[in-house]
Amino acid sequence: MKIKLGVLALFFMLFSYGQNQTITASLYETYDTYKEAALDKRRIKHSELQPLINRYRENPDFEVTKVGESIEGRDLSLISIGKGTTDVFLWSQMHGDEPTATQAMFDIFNFLASDDFKNEKNTILDSLRLHFLPMLNPDGAEVFQRRNRLGIDVNRDALRLQSPEGKTLKRVRDSLEAAFGFNLHDQSTYYNAERTEKPATISYLAPAYNYEKEINKVRANAMKVIVFMNNIIQKYAPGQVGRYNDDFEPRAFGDNIQKWGTSAILIESGGYPDDVEKQEIRKLNYVSILSAIYTIAEESYKDIPLTDYEKIPENDRKLFDLKIERATYELLGESYMLDLGINRLEVDKADHNDFWYSSRILDQGDLSTYYGYETFNASGYTIRPGKVYPQVVPSQSELENLAMDSLLRSGYTYVRLENIPNEQLESTYPVHLIGKKYKVPEFNLEIGINPTFLLEKNGKIEYAVINGFLVNVEKPFNANLKNAMIYR
């Protein structure tokens, strides 16, 4: 009899999982119908959210409540929907430069406000009451920085509660006593799934609530939902999921919210190839969060084996934007083989609406245990310094007449310009622009320098690395190169 009951339980678990997979596929395929077009870039501001929030303020299915203010006086709004008895609380962007899930929230609102997926939405909204707090740190978002206006990390303010943003988060959590809490973040794009070259596109954590890292029912439920979401992400980004180390951090909100009785689920949006603005990752957030909400409504997560949580590989941080392997480098009359790890570091423009790249060599030597979003095997290639074009170019318009691919083939990586406008921050060409009196430093490969050099094979220049971008000099201007540098 016990065997029959076990088989029956397994059947219902597989049946429920199969249903969820079908829903997930439908959510993924129809995503563009619900994507909020007004939020199409990472550097979103509080003011851009307000017309969208007002749209739901006018929708009788939603309840919008002001629950606090930031230090600089920006409203913090809680958007709620559903009539169920189980409360689920989701908050985003407690770090101002981590907006991916904020965008996904508004996609979810569009989905919930539509007339589609009626049966699935009835299941969700009859069982659950969903509460969303988008952009918890709007002052940080305004200048695209992690910390709030006080200069503190809101996610390390769970004990002292010195920030109004942290106080609001604690007050809302306590008032709801939510069964589940989704703590939504972005992480560095340089995390990879342990011992693989694949980026940790999504990373999860069911935070510990004590130093012993014990697992009670509250934490176990968070782990089971994470296993469910991992299975979803694996379908669309196979091998690109990581799991954070669960060492207890007594100051962190996630750890304390777990301790206070809400099953806390940390979701971190990392990197995805050719997705600088994280729009594919935004889509994965939308699909996995909605699917997780559905499994919570159905309570099918309860049958998921807890042991599967530990099978998710841990996060590692061994990714570069560009990895050059086995290049020959000549120094003091000797030849050496070097790998180079290069990252393209973002520099915000003054209005914090856009950025330019100022790249750096992060590491060099034997990097055989590291990976790259782009990897180039430079065996047989010798690294050569670039040269300065011998003529001073009088104007930008005349600069446009130069054949850039021809310049690079001839070894020129710097062009001297008569006048460089003060407001110009970066070069839009695949060469660096330098002022009339600027002296290019002597070339010496070392950590921290801007990665600009040529790759020569059999006496012929075939590739150039300009500001950390690999350029094939035999092809027209590489559109993937966002910018080169300006040195005045």
Q: Per residue in 348-371, pLDDT tens?
A: 999 999 999 999 999 999 999 999
Domain range summary for the chain, segments of one domain joined by +: 14-316, 319-487
> Model-level pTM greater than 0.85?
yes
Q: Per residue in 105-158, pLDDT tens?
A: 999 999 999 999 999 999 999 999 999 999 999 999 999 999 999 999 999 999
Judged against a pLDDT cut of 80, whether residue 1 lies above it is answered with: no
Which three-class secondary structure state does DSSP give residue 360?
Answer: strand
Measure the CA–CA gap between 282 and 206, rounded to whole angstroms: 21
For residue 20, what pLDDT is reported?
A: 67
Q: Per residue in 156-196, pLDDT tens?
A: 999 999 999 999 999 999 999 999 999 999 999 999 999 99
CB atoms within 10 A of CB 407: 21
- 14-316 topology per CATH: Aminopeptidase (3.40.630)
Mean pLDDT lowest among 129-143, 205-219, 384-398, 467-481: 467-481
Q: Per residue in 336-348, pLDDT tens?
A: 999 999 999 999 9
Region 22-26: what's the mean pLDDT?
89
Judged against a pLDDT cut of 90, whether residue 40 lies above it is answered with: yes
CB 356 within 8 A of CB 482: yes
Question: Based on the number of CB atoms within 10 Å of its own CB, is 458 exposed (0-12), middle (13-18) or buried (19 or more)?
Answer: exposed
For residue 22, what pLDDT is reported?
A: 78
For residue 120, what pLDDT is reported?
A: 96
CB atoms within 10 A of CB 318: 19
Which three-class secondary structure state does DSSP give residue 116?
Answer: coil
Measure the CA–CA gap between 329 and 169, rounded to whole angstroms: 54
pLDDT grade for 58, boundaries at 50, 70 and 90: very high
Which three-class secondary structure state does DSSP give residue 358?
Answer: coil
Q: Closest Cα to residue 315, out of 471, 407, 195?
A: 195
Query: What percentage of the chain's residues is helix, strand, coil (to nearest 5)?
Result: 30, 25, 40
For residue 396, what pLDDT is reported?
A: 85
DSSP structural state of residue 199: B
For residue 405, what pLDDT is reported?
A: 86
CB 419 within 8 A of CB 399: no
Beta-strand (E) ranges in 370-466? Answer: 371-377, 382-384, 387-388, 412-416, 432-434, 453-457, 460-466
Measure the CA–CA gap between 464 and 99, rounded to whole angstroms: 34
Please report, rounded to a whole number, the percentage of residues in the chain having pLDDT higher than 90.
92
For residue 397, what pLDDT is reported?
A: 86
Measure the CA–CA gap between 76 and 131, rounded to whole angstroms: 13
Helix (H) or strand (E) holding 48: helix 46-57
List 316's β-bridge partners, or say none. 192
For residue 400, what pLDDT is reported?
A: 86
CB 127 within 8 A of CB 84: yes
pLDDT grade for 2, boundaries at 50, 70 and 90: very low
First to last CA, the chain: 82
Alpha carbon dihedral 469, 474, 477, 482, in 10-degree steps, equals: -10
Measure the CA–CA gap between 106 and 35, rounded to whole angstroms: 8
Q: Per residue in 376-391, pLDDT tens?
A: 999 999 999 999 999 9
Residue 332: which residues within 8 A CB-CB, separation 6 or more? none
Tokens of 91: 């908050």
List 364's β-bridge partners, or say none. 340
